Amino acid sequence: GQAAVQLSAADDDRVHGVIAAARRVRLTGALVGVALVGGIAYLTGEPSAPWILLASLYPLTHALELSTLFLRNQIAWSRQVLARAIAAGLSLGCVVILRVSGTTDPAVYLCAVAAGSAIGNLLLHLVGRKHLPAPGGPPTAVRTLLIVALPMGAASICQQLYFWIDNLFVRAWNGEAWLGRYNLAVRVMSFGIMAGVYASLAALPWLTRQHMQGRLAAALVRLTQPVLAVAGLGAGLLWPYAADVLELIGGDPHFGLAEHALHWLLLATASVYLGAPLLGGVVATGASRAVLAISVCALVVNLVGNTWLVPTHGIEGAAIATFATEVMVAAGALVALARRGVVLRERLLGWSLGPAAFLVGYLLSTAVHG
């Protein structure tokens, strides 16, 4: 999806060619998935194999979702969000119906959720196709798309690894109880970073066009400084209430023991609001291999950090490693941008807004919390 945006954002004539190539890639990948998931379910004698096979067909509908490419390039997300909300509502409704009816087979629930997501992709196709430009322009070779997409796909795997692999270290050194407390703090971070991550994805077409016009540095400053300030303010406001939030969500005072880990994860959250837009800027330049290199380095930092810190500092050490990882992503993105002539020299004082907003939020929250 990111590769499709990067290739077409600055040239509407390429939209249909890019969609056609991306659909071939997604359909091929989905069919391989059906063969693996559905086939293994039958080969291993899984009692719910038919339901699993049916659910495994859902990724085929991701080819339909590509019809929204032009809307993404125009940063017009309202219809897409509505379609996704309807799909999520359908999935939830199906789960509720199955629960009320007494269904206990997990594969049936899996199929119900997949059905809701498939309907969502169909809705996105119906919404997006109405806004596609007139067909025309040169076709896009699958190879061209893959050259851009494969490094970013590998980078996404690295990102998932460094976000979750600390579970292995915490479980091995501290046990299941501490892992549960840590995972709740990570869940708070996951919700906290959503706005920053999605803002960067939504801004990718604009960043790509700004890069084509030689204005990427100024665009990144305009995007990153305000979101970093908002993230700093949010982290500062939540800081004194870390234990209260964990106990409230977890429903048990023991979850408050992850307070200090959450403090480090709040700093990591603010770092994401810096790193995600900058990494989006790297994607906008077409440097997908640089994105992979940054993600690999971040994974190494995370592994080394967890190996070193978890045995002595427990879940707080894992959180510190996560913070260091996100700082690495931001620093790596800055270096990658500078190597491509994109140096963020404008409004240098504006970078102090993030720490200043954190301090303001912390002082206000401390005054209320006591």
Which pLDDT band holds residue 235 (cuts at 50, 70, 90)?
A: very high
Q: What is the pLDDT of residue 137?
A: 82
The per-residue pLDDT for 346 is: 87
Tokens of 135: 């067909």
Task: Give residue 90's pLDDT.
Answer: 93
Q: Is the pTM of this model over 0.85?
A: yes
**CA distance linking residue 144 with residue 126, whole number of Å:** 27
Give me the pLDDT at residue 138, please.
Answer: 86
Q: How does DSSP assign 52-111, residue by residue?
A: HHHHHTGGGGHHHHGGGHHHHHTT--HHHHHHHHHHHHHHHHHHHHHHHTT---HHHHHH
The percentage of residues in the chain with a pLDDT greater than 90, rounded to a whole number, is: 95
> Cα-atom radius of gyration of the chain, to the nearest Å?
22
Checking if the pLDDT of 136 tops 90, the result is no
Q: Is the pLDDT of residue 49 over 80?
A: yes
pLDDT at res. 293? 97
Please say whether the beta carbons of 291 and 278 come within 8 A: no
Q: What is the pLDDT of residues 152-201, one digit of tens each?
A: 999 999 999 999 999 999 999 999 999 999 999 999 999 999 999 999 99
| Region 331-341 average pLDDT | 96
Q: Reduce the DSSP state of residue 259 to 3 states and report it.
A: helix
| pLDDT value for 94 | 93
Q: Read off the pLDDT of each residue in 20-36 and give the average, rounded to a whole number.
A: 96
Structure tokens at 271: 């770092």
> Within a 10 A sphere around the Cβ of 78, how many other Cβ atoms?
9
**Among 159, 157, 151, 150, CA closest to 301:** 159
Q: What pLDDT score was predicted for residue 34?
A: 95
User: Residue 194 is which amino acid?
Assistant: M
63 pLDDT more than 80:
yes
Average pLDDT value for the chain: 95
Q: How far is CA 187 from CA 3, 125, 184, 311, in A?
A: 28, 31, 5, 22
Q: pLDDT tens-digit profile of 290-326?
A: 999 999 999 999 999 999 999 999 999 999 999 999 9
* Mean pLDDT across 117-141: 92
Q: Report the share of the chain in percent with pLDDT over 70.
A: 100
